[in-house]
Every structure is written in C-alpha cells, then in structure tokens.
Structure 1
Amino acid sequence: MKRLLSAMLGVSLATSAVAQEKGTFEEYVAGLKEEARQQGISEQILTEAFKGVEYKPRAVTADRNQPEKKLTLDEYIPRAVPDWKVKQAKELHKKHYAELKRIGDEYGVQPRFIVALWGVESNFGRFTGNYRVIDALSTLAYEGRREAFFRKEALAALQILQQGHIAPDEMKGSWAGAMGQSQFMPSSFLNFAADGNGDGKKDIWDSEADVFASTANYLAQSGWDDKYTWGRQVKVPHGISPDLQGREAEKGKYLKEWSQLGVTRYDGRPLPQLDEDVKAWLIMPDDENGRVYLVYNNYNVLMKWNRSYYFALAVSHLADRIAMD
C-alpha cells in the first residue's frame, strides 16, 4: 500500500509540474484537437471522440512502473504459456482452421503463429483493455514522458475513427492505447490492419477474421517467410564465446557454421541439414547458463511486433505446442 501511495504521489507531483509547463489537460486537449483539424479530422468525429474525455492517472502510473523482479525464461514460459492456454489454442486453431488457412495462404503465414500471437496478446480476445483509447493516449501525451510518441498515436486513433472502422464510444484498449484482440497501437492499425471478412471495415475488436488477417498482414509486411519456422532451443559447448550471440546482421551464420562451432539441437542431435541453408542467430536471453536458442529471421519479425525476447519466445513456444499432436 505504501508503495502504491508513493507511486501515485510521484505521478501527482510530476503531473503538477507538467501542468505548470503546458497548462491544463483541457488546454492540451484543445491543442490536440486543433492539430487534428489541420489533418482533416471532421468536427463530428472530434466532438464524439473527445466527449467526456478524462485524464487517467492510472495510465500514467502503469507507464512509469515496471516490474521489479525479472523472471528467468524457465519461470516466464510456463506462466505466459500454461497448459490451459495451449489446450485452448489447439481448440481454436482447429475451430477456425478453414479461415486461418485461407488467410495464411493469402499472406504467407502459418496459421499456428497467427493463433499464438492472438493467445499471447489478448488471451484469444478476452483481455483487450477497457480504457477509452482517446482518454489513455491524450493522458500519456499530456504527461509528457513520451509526448511525441503518444501524441502521434492519438492523432492516428482519430484517423481510424475518421475512416469509420469503429465508433468512437467503442474504441477501447489498454492503458497504453493498444487496441483490440491483436493489441495494435493506432499507427500499427493504419499500417497493417486488414479486412479479413470483406465487409469494408477493419475491425480488430470484434471480427476474428479481421484479427487474423491483420496479424498475418503485419507479419508478411515485416518480412515473414512461411517456408521456415522461428528457430529452436539448442545446446552450446561449454566456454562458447558470448560475443557470438546477438541478433545483429553480422552475427548471423548458416546452420552448418553453427554445427562446426559445436552447437546441437537441445536433445544433442545435430542441427537440421536443409537443402537451402538459412542463417540463424544465437541468443541467450538470460545468460549462457539459461535457455539458449538459434533463431531464424521469422523470430526477428516477431521482435518487430514486440521488442521483448521473452514475448517472442512465448509466441514461438505456443506456436510449437499448437503444432504438436
């Protein structure tokens, strides 16, 4: 309780400083609306979007407070991908397979990765956030720690409303403004959202087909190649140089080169011999004593979605579990 009060007090003091510099929240919103007008947002959309707009202190608190304890992958993976989630993922993969296959073929993305992202991001659409997106983004822009980022996202959210994909009072998301079942930020929506059911809208809130198509489109445009998987957990020889690990382009090596360095599959078998050899990168998200992986470019694409090794490994792990009998 003390820590929470202290955090809330810190937010309150910081907000007071921001208010002195920028004026009131209402004045900031007025400036945001004026910028939106200049970008072609209609008065009707502005009126509806900002009706009853509120400053959300809890969004600021969430933005500033990061978890204090860092879990290891051995602790994190079972929490992020518990057996019950694997079971649901397999059931939903089977239930929606015809639609997933159609969309996967169109965009060149394996259906299991679409379902895995759906599951890790929003628990298959169950946890999408209940903040009004305009409230959250206006608050975080005004707060100022990442003003340019959140102001740009607020303006992007207004563009989505202008395009008619969702009604202003239905545009809900996380405290950070991540929206819908795929948890797209508004700028990602504008760049990657897709109409999966052909109704002329891109509805990542309530249309599973649009969620699947939007996810697949994001991956496809970011460099996904469905001829390959994401990578694999491996074993490395004792004393392997830590300088070999990392996702920098120059650190990628062909599988035969990793084999020559003594890297094997996790069970000790040799790495796969592919007709068309591919580059892989060695990563040790914890350290050389934790889990070690060789990852392909598809893993790098998952890192574009969320710049967290742990997130990308959770998605990859769930996709592999879906593929298992």
Structure 2
Amino acid sequence: MKNSAICLTASTLLLASCAAKSPNAEAVAPATPTVAAQPQASSTNSSASTLAAQGRDPAEFPGYVEQLKQQAKAQGISDATITAAFANVHFVDRVIKSDQNQLEKKVTLDDYLSRVITQAKIDKARELYKQHQAELASVSAQTGVQANYIVALWAMESQFGKIQGKEDIVSALSTLAFEGRREAFFTKELMASLKIIDQGHAAADQLKGSWAGAMGQNQFMPSSYLRYGKDGDGDGKIDIWNNTSDVFASTANYLAKEGWQAGGTWGMEVKLPAGFNSGLAGTKTSQGKTVSQWQKLGVTLPDGLLLPASTERAWIVTPDDNQARSFLVYNNFRTIMRWNRSYYFAISIGTMADAIVK
C-alpha cells in the first residue's frame, strides 16, 4: 500500500496472516483489503513467472484491457471516461508481487501494535482531535460515531492523510484483475473507479492510491467511495484526498451504515479461565453472550477482578490463537471489522481511540 521504507500505518503492516487471525468472523466486504507493505518495484521476470503459474502472460495485458473497456461500456460508462481512464493504463508488475507476497510474513499482536501505535502518533492524534473538534463534533452528532474513532481510523489508514499511495488506480486494479486470483473483486472495483470518474467526482489523473486500489485519507476502495462517500462541508464534492470534512463525514457514514452503536465502546482485554473452550471464541452472531454470561464462564479482567455485571452482548476474541491475549469485544468491534476483516486492525483502532481521549 505504501513504500516499503514507510512502515508506520496499520494498513501498511496488516499482512494477510493477520487477517487469518479472525477465522470465525462473519463474511463482510472490507473497505480496505488486508495488504502488506508495498515492496520496491519487482522485476518483470518475477511477475511473469507468477502469472505463468496461472496461465497468463503479461504480453496479453493489452488485449485484456480491451475486454475491460468493453465491460465498462456495457455498464454504461461513457466513451469519454473510458478513453481518459485508460489513456495511460499500464501493467504494474510490483502490484502482482505485493498481492502474491501477503502471506510471507507473520507478526504477533504485540509486534503489530508496537509498530502501528507509537507515542508520536498518539500525540499527533490528540493534537488533531482538538484542532478539528468542531467539525468532528458535528459529524458525531449526525451519525452517533464518536470523534476519537474517526481520528483513530484517519491515523491508522494514512497517517492523517500523509501516506495515501501514489499508484494509478486504474492501472493497479486492471493489473490485479488480470492477475486472476481475485478477478471478479478487482474488476468490480475497477468499474467502480470508472464510475467515480464518469460521475464527475474526480478526474482520471487524480485517481491515485495504494497498490490494492484503496484511495484517499481513509483509504476507501472505489465501491466504498460510491456507497459511503459523503460531502462533509456542503461544497457539492466528495474529496477524500484533500478535504478533511469529507474524510470525517465519509468515515463516520461508513461506520454508521454498518451498524455502529452510538456511544458504545469497542471492548477490553480479559483473562480466560484454564481450560476455556476455544470454540466459544469468535465474532459470529451466534457466539455472542451477555457480559454476565461470560463472567459465569470464568472470564475476568486481566487482574482477576470480576467483569462488570451487564446484559450487553459481547464476544471473545483471541487474536494470536494461543490465548496469550484475549479480548471481550462489543458490537462496535464487529462494525470496525467490516472496515477491515482483521482482529489486529480492529484492536489497533480501539486501542488508538482509547488513547486519544485518555
């Protein structure tokens, strides 16, 4: 998603191995794919060998692009948009390697959190939280999403807008569709990116983002931009690249539409009893229990104190699969996971949100 020399944002460090930590999560469509840090440009030979294993030759890419153009035309995209969007389309070999290499590295939750939540980032988040207090308060009042969670996502996704990615979105998505492993998904996102241009939200040369197609300060995929993008300042535009009002409004709109419970928290770390049935852990609806029910099963606070008696529904998650650290999480945690289907990511957002208002 970003240059490999920059390893400070949550999405940059969020490898597919982290997403694998949430096997029990119900299927959701994340706004931002779980991706690894973008490596330096790989050799064409490396990409060619990767594609060859799937029966595709990079030399066939131009012909494939013509097929994509026809699909776009069939979906009602104007000829002018198709011409502009594909004017400089090119095969991006480093995108292939980035997508294929997501499983190569594994990190623990503690490693991940120590790298994405630094004191410097917390300090900056607190500063910007205060600086934008008025517009954040307005968005929170309209959506019920607390301002500290909006800022936490802003911090993790792009370091407050500093790291958005510079890849040509049409080229990246065309390349990933051509790769074939997730052709349907990336073709859908490509068509969404063309609709953004066709509807006048952004010019073709302005569509820049991560190697995986995520865009703007909140790293929305194109389909999420169309579904959740919101004009925050009433200027008639939805500019998630440059306008913080639109970034805040769009982020909150996403969470609100995906089931955010106003005023609710995300969860807390807990201690599981010896012999805890691991099959009870997970975030499927059927795995939820009231806090009081978890208490009766022996779940306590880390220091051994009892959980507060409550009828609120909650779930148990064990991110590292070995019960080294466990968390009791609420509905809003599951909503965050609709943004990115990873226990690591959702815990980092909750942890940062808490730190901002401490």
Please indicate the TM-score interval, normalised by the length of the shorter structure. over 0.9
Aligned to 1:129: 165
Alignment correspondent of 2:191? 155
Q: Could you say which residue in structure 2 is the equivalent of 1:105? A: 141
CA distance in 1, matches of 2:42, 2:165: 25
- Which letter maps to 1:287? D
Which residue in 1 is equivalent to 2:329? 295
- Which has more radius of gyration? 1
Contact 1:99 1:209 in 2 (8 A): yes
User: Which residue does the alignment assign to 2:36?
Assistant: none
List structure 1 runs of 4+ shifted beyond 3 angstroms: 3-10, 14-23
Given that residues 22 and 28 in structure 1 are in contact (C-alpha distance below 8 angstroms), is that contact kept between their aligned partners in structure 2? no
Shift of 1:266: 2.4
CA drift of 1:209 comes to 0.6
Is the contact made by 2:176 and 2:186 (CA closer than 8 Å) also made in structure 1? yes
Corresponding residue for residue 279 of structure 1: 313
From 30, 33, 55, the counterpart of 2:69: 33
- Alignment-derived partner of residue 304 in structure 1: 338
Contact conserved, 1:7 with 1:61, CA < 8 A, in 2?
Answer: no
Query: SS where residue 197 of structure 1 aligns?
Result: coil
Q: 1:219 to 1:89 in 2, by over 3 A?
A: same
TM-score normalised according to structure 1 size:
0.93
What residue in structure 2 maps to residue 264 of structure 1? 300
Distance, in Å, in 2 between the alignment partners of 1:130 and 1:301 is 28
The answer (yes or no) to whether the contact 2:84–2:204 under 8 Å persists in 1 is yes
2:286 pairs with 1:250: yes
For 1:154-173, what aligned pairs fall within 5 Å after superposition? Answer: 154-173=190-209
User: In the alignment, is the contact (CA less than 8 A) between 1:133 and 1:172 conserved in 2?
Assistant: yes
Aligned residues of 1:303 and 1:309 also touching (Cα < 8 A): yes
Does 1:203 pair with 2:210?
no
Richer in helix (by share): 1
Q: Could you report, residue by residue, the CA deviation over 1:69-124 in whole angstroms, capped at 9, with x for unpaired residues?
A: 32211221111111111111111111101101101111110000000011111111
Matches within 5 A, 1:210-229: 210-229=246-265
Between the aligned partners of 2:226 and 2:291, the Cα distance in structure 1 is 37
Asked if structure 2 preserves the Cα contact closer than 8 Å seen for 1:128 and 1:179, the reply is yes
Deviation at 1:39, TM superposition (A): 1.7
Q: TM-score, normalised by structure 2?
A: 0.85
User: Would you say the 8 A contact 2:288–2:314 is kept in 1?
Assistant: yes
Instruction: Answer with 310-319 or 245-254: which moved more.
Output: 245-254
Residue 319 of structure 2 aligns to a residue whose secondary structure is coil
For residue 251 of structure 1, report the CA deviation from its aligned partner.
Answer: 1.5
Q: Percent identity among equivalent residues? A: 49
**Are positions 1:315 and 2:354 aligned together?**
no
Q: Which residue of the partner structure matches residue 213 of structure 2?
A: 177
Distance 1:231 1:218 in 2: 20
- The answer for the alignment partner of 2:26 in structure 1 is none
Q: Distance in 2 between matches of 1:165 and 1:268?
A: 53
SS in 1 for 2:48: helix
Change (3 A) 1:13 1:196: same
Note the residue ranges of structure 2 that are not aligned, 5 or more in a row.
1-38
Q: Secondary structure at the match of 2:230?
A: coil
Structure 1 gaps of 5+ residues are none
Query: Are 1:74 and 2:110 counterparts?
Result: yes
